[in-house]
Amino acid sequence: MKTGCLLLSSLLAVLPAAAEYRPAAANLAARQWFQDARFGLFIHWGVYSVLGDGEWVMNNRKIPVEEYEKLPPQFNPTKFDAAEWVSLVKAAGMRYITITSKHHDGFAMFDSKLTDWDIVDRTPYKKDVLKMLADECHKQGIKLFFYHSHLDWHHPDYYPRGRTGRNTGRPESGEWYRYLDFMDGEIRELLTNYGEIGGIWFDGWWDKPTADWRLEKTYKLIHDLQPAALIGNNHHRLPFEGEDFQMFEKDLPGGKTAEFNKDAQVGKLPLETCETINKAWGYNQNDQQYKSTRELVHYLVRAAGHNANFLLNVGPRPDGTIQPEFSERLREIGGWLRANGESIYGTRQGPVAPRDWGVTTQKGKKVYVHLLKLEDEVLALPKLPGKITRAALVNGAKVEYGETNLGVLLKVPLAGRDPLDTVVTLELQ
């Protein structure tokens, strides 16, 4: 018995686990690209925008499927202009877009051949907005990711039901694996018909944490179709086998302000954190609680200081436009990035851990010290990994500094500060 166990465990030690995921070279390169990009636009857009009450409206108002199906005929985004959206993304200094191909309401915002519960078959608009957006992204050099919901409040085979979507009037029956086959089919469509895709951002696993989601099969399908496509899953756990990045929702990595992040740990994969401009993901016409441009720049900078990308959300209106409160802020962030982008793009977390006063980022021999909340003129830092040869602000103005065997002192007069974020560039020997 004992020998058997030993034999088995030594065998297991030498044999790689059957399911072990080895990312392709193209995937590893894409992870570097992803980390270098640092800033993307999240778009929550679907037929729910018609009601102007967020993307959870079907669940929150207990709308049965039959009633909810009255929304697509009212969804006619005649003012949607892919070129305008992508130009806004570029003006914001963003490098990628992650858009809802399907949210929890199950509605496909693309032309699926596997269901008629999609934008082409059910709306008067009849056009595949993801195709239009994909073509424009490829034209303007922006990467496109799809947010795809595992959870489905509309599909009859999403059964047994999970924590949510229990008031949709669906019959109490369904074939779980038929649902998974359908979902894999849609994923196949998304990775086949839209050119090169940046990756898939899954969400909704948490609705049924003990279900057999057959993730290995879905992940393999994606990596077989497009090896460079990055997979992330908003399950709020350490990444599962086959995933390529780890995401955090409404918290910096390791932050625990959101209840669902209370056990969140930070793993070794590239990181991303997502946040809203007001309080809502999908369009909410009553939500006026906008974060300021300064708060949003701080979020971006703090994310970079935590080695994470920032995926900033907008919920477009049902007519296809992005409201001015969003676009203005995006353009202002872009303005800050045009002057200070060197301290964000292509950087990794810096040598000094994130602090209340700010964060550090670094690229090669340069360390960027971001002064976000420094009330004093002088900042003391621990010893850096090299001797400083130059210290300056982004406008070239020299910064006074002192180095001893205890550490580094920087003097940055209040008069020369940028109200959004003052960046001191330290060149190290």
Contact residues toward ligand JFZ (CB under 6 A) are: 44, 55-56, 203, 206, 234, 249, 260, 274, 281
The residue among 72 and 232 lying less far from ligand JFZ, judged by its C-beta, is 232
The residue among 103 and 223 lying less far from ligand JFZ, judged by its C-beta, is 103
The residue among 274 and 412 lying less far from ligand JFZ, judged by its C-beta, is 274
Exposure b/e, 24-58, CB count within 10 A at least 16 = b: eeebeebbebbbbbbbbbbbbbbbbbbbbbbbbbb
CB of 191 to ligand JFZ, least distance (A): 21
Rg (CA), the chain: 23
CB of 358 to ligand JFZ, least distance (A): 27
CB of 25 to ligand JFZ, least distance (A): 30
The residue among 218 and 233 lying less far from ligand JFZ, judged by its C-beta, is 233
Q: How far apart are CA 309 and CA 97, in angstroms?
A: 12
Residue 150, SS3 per DSSP: coil
Q: How far apart are CA 84 and CA 54, in angstroms?
A: 23
CB of 198 to ligand JFZ, least distance (A): 17
Strand partners, 231: 200
**Element of type H or E holding 149:** strand 143-149
The residue among 33 and 56 lying less far from ligand JFZ, judged by its C-beta, is 56
Structural contact between residues 290 and 277, judged by C-beta atoms closer than 8 angstroms: yes
CB of 234 to ligand JFZ, least distance (A): 5
CB of 225 to ligand JFZ, least distance (A): 24
CB of 279 to ligand JFZ, least distance (A): 12
Find where tokens 């621990």 sit.
Answer: 382
The residue among 234 and 307 lying less far from ligand JFZ, judged by its C-beta, is 234
CB of 386 to ligand JFZ, least distance (A): 40
Distances (CA, A) of 142 to 93, 111, 132, 321: 11, 22, 13, 19
Alpha-carbon dihedral 90, 111, 218, 68, rounded to 10 degrees: 100
**And the tokens for 58?**
């079907």
Per-position DSSP letters for 14-29, written without gaps between them: HSPPTT-----HHHHH
Strands of the sheet with 378-381, listed across from one edge = 378-381, 408-411, 400-403
The residue among 179 and 260 lying less far from ligand JFZ, judged by its C-beta, is 260
Strand partners, 42: 98, 313
The residue among 109 and 374 lying less far from ligand JFZ, judged by its C-beta, is 109
